[in-house]
Amino acid sequence: MLKLVLVCAFLAAIFAANAVSLCIRDICNNTIPESICVTNGRTTRLFKSECEMRIAECSDREIWEQTSLSDCFSTKGSAIIIDPINLSPEIPDLNINLDLNIQKSCNMDCMDTYDPVCGFDGSSYMVFRNSCDLAYTKCMKSTNYDVVDSNLCNMEPDLTLF
């Protein structure tokens, strides 16, 4: 009987270790970025794609349910936005600036505080986690984002173009 218990405990440990490694193996590099807003009943969270949501569910052992994108932009204080979210689809810029001097001058220590700001660069709106993240993105990517009225970013993006 003791042998059976030990074998069961050993197999349970192996399956638990494999479950965690399965979370790590799921890579989302080839998925189309299609923002998804989710909630667990307490927190609202915005992911770049459903794939990234599945990884978070697996690694955090949290269950997320999809909700309206507007919930992620209208929730003050409890929403978590992992990265700046581009609200207007655009073609990716393939001209990557490798000038390290520019990147070194952008050394900012931004806090993870969620105090969203709306930025506009003349053609697209983008929600940033806070004003420091906007300034950092503006510096690193040499963009011209300026803070604008937050109501301009409360619209749902047209994701049919992705």
pLDDT more than 90, % of the chain: 0
User: pLDDT tens digit string along 25-53?
Assistant: 556 666 666 778 888 888 778 777 788 78
Query: Residue 79's pLDDT is what?
Result: 46
Structure tokens belonging to residue 65: 């349910």
Instruction: Let me know if residue 9 belongs to a domain.
Output: no
Instruction: Let me know if residue 78 belongs to a domain.
Output: yes
Closest C-alpha among 85, 140, 159, 143 to residue 118: 85
Q: Using 50, 70 and 90 to split pLDDT, how confident is the model at 24? A: low
Which amino acid appears at position 19 of this protein? Answer: A
Range of the domain at 47: 21-82
Helices marked H in the chain: 2-25, 50-60, 69-74, 100-104, 131-140
Examine the domain organization and report whether 73 and 121 are in the same domain.
Answer: no
Q: Note if the pTM is more than 0.75.
A: no
Examine the domain organization and report whether 29 and 53 are in the same domain.
Answer: yes
Closest C-alpha among 83, 84, 73, 87 to residue 44: 73
- Decide if pLDDT at 77 tops 80: no
Closest C-alpha among 162, 122, 129, 115 to residue 145: 122
Domain boundary among 82, 108, 128: 82
Average pLDDT over residues 5-19: 52
User: pLDDT tens digit string along 101-152?
Assistant: 444 457 677 777 777 888 888 888 888 888 888 888 888 777 788 888 888 8
Instruction: Let me know if residue 108 belongs to a domain.
Output: yes
Mean pLDDT in the chain?
Answer: 66
Structure tokens belonging to residue 32: 């189309």
Instruction: Let me know if residue 6 belongs to a domain.
Output: no
Query: Residue 126's pLDDT is what?
Result: 84
Sequence-distant (≥ 6) Cβ neighbours of residue 103 within 8 angstroms: 140
Instruction: Let me know if residue 159 belongs to a domain.
Output: no
Give me the CATH number covering residue 41.
3.30.60
**C-alpha distances in Å from residue 36, one per residue of 91, 106, 144, 157:** 20, 30, 26, 11
Domain boundary among 36, 51, 82: 82
